[in-house]
Structure 1
Amino acid sequence: MSSPIIITKRFYYFLPILVILFSCSDKGMEPEKDDELAPTPFNLLEIPNNTIEVELMPSFSWQIATDPDGEKIRYDFILDTKALPTEILKSNLSEANFTVTSSLELNTKYYWKVIAKDESMNTTESEVFNFTTIEALPNEAPENFNLLTVEDNSLDVPLKPSFTWEVANDPENDVVSYDFYLGTEAETITKIASDLDQPSFTMSSDLSYNTTYYWTVVAKDDKDNFTETEIYSFITELMPSGVDVPFAIVDEPPIYPGCEDSNDKKECFTQKIVALIDDNLVYPSSALENGIEGRVNCVFTISTTGAVTNIRVRGPDQSLENEAIRILNLLPNMIPGKQNGEVVNVPYGIPITFKLE
């Protein structure tokens, strides 16, 4: 008899090993700080997109960008002739504007944008705008020039004076001509000669006696550009009431009191008047307060009776003129001048200079 067969069952048990990893660092448990925010979007303002006929040194502006983290904003200004501009013309601008300091090219299309950046170098770019510069430089007016004669504040000017002025040069060498203006009121002077090709003009008819006139000149080129001078004034000569002989050429000059025995009566006359002016001049307070100084041209006549008459003055300020008149009214009676043995009126002129020390 054969032995019985015994079958043995073996059971195997597998226990999963759970490995739990714990971080020992507290840092990883903190929420991540949000400090990577870029500046807010912003728009370009000036120059608007697709603008044409832009000057060669334009100014640009854009909206102010703000930073969510409160960081300071700086701007990079990009200007290029490429549709995708990359050339930084100016970096780290603190203001939302920029003006070109070197002339751009004529008739050229430019593209521009701005990059706003914060202190963490987070950036926000604007859109790209374009503009086109002017096709050609504008034609310029003639250069400034000065009046020469008749000089400003002149006295005893002849009734048919000749006027002259400097040549006005034109930057483009355009042909320049002149218009001449003259009148008795500065605000309403009238054009009395046009298209003069020389820097001079002579009156063909007499002006009025003892009258204040104002004159100016306008230089113009053939492109209708013009430049005007300042306005000068003058007073014409007195209407003759007898024979007048200028002090410089009269045979026997008027004799100032105290000069009777002088060998050079003309020189003594002048010295006495200068001394009277020096001894009596009082600087007007209003002129002092306003810093006004200058020369007052004075003319008066020693008449056939020896009296000082026809006092006329012209200067930069009314207060200075009034003081000059006051002093001249202090002049004494004199022995009248003579020409060819006959008593004559003798005009005499002297400047009185007011100068602040």
Structure 2
Amino acid sequence: MKQAFYIICLVLLVLGCSTSTDSNVTEGSKPPDEENEVTDLEVKLYFPQENMLCNEGTNLTPTESTVFFEWRANGADNYKIVIENLSSGTIIERETTEDIIPIVIQRATAYSWYVEAKSEGETEQSETWQFYNAGPGVQSYAPFPATIVAPNMAQSIAATTTVALQWTGSDVDDDIVGYDVYFGTNATPKLFASDISTTESNVSVTSGTIYYWKVITKDSLGNTSDSGIFQFRVL
């Protein structure tokens, strides 16, 4: 009887040791899955909305208003918001730990903005949105400056004879009627094509040359906007 009892105890002891030995999780440590878990840093813009007219400013004056910029983020400790006046090129930068911040900007003016979210040395940038800050008595707004798609600024292109200039256009009044393309080897390019209805224009190029170009966007009431000059090199 005692011998049977000893055998049972020995079996239980062996099983207990095997369970402890086979486990990869020691006391005070995290399971492998938890140790490797990563929280993605993400930031998405919320307001002012993309390609829209912002008319919700406060503390209004004839020339300025306070607009509350909002975004949504995951896993961030602090943020940097960057706002550009698309007419003057003036940049506004602010840092905050909140996901909403009031900023004074010009009325009847087009802006672009984005947010950088930061956490433990990691940085994630949002998309860049454009909007118009409403102005007193304005019935029609100029189109947003064309957004250059290709070639990128200062891009080097493999030797070729033709390059497709590409861009996108938008307008809060949705009344764009065409584009004028300026293109050439001079830093102040001359008119290449006018009243283009598409957002692409093919140009002839020569190897070993730097080219400059820009797009003027026009609406039905004669308002215009200038993309600014871009350049690329053909190798």
Which TM-score bucket, shorter chain as reference?
Answer: 0.3 to 0.5
TM-score for both structures, normalised by structure 2: 0.40
Larger strand percent: 2
TM-score for both structures, normalised by structure 1: 0.27
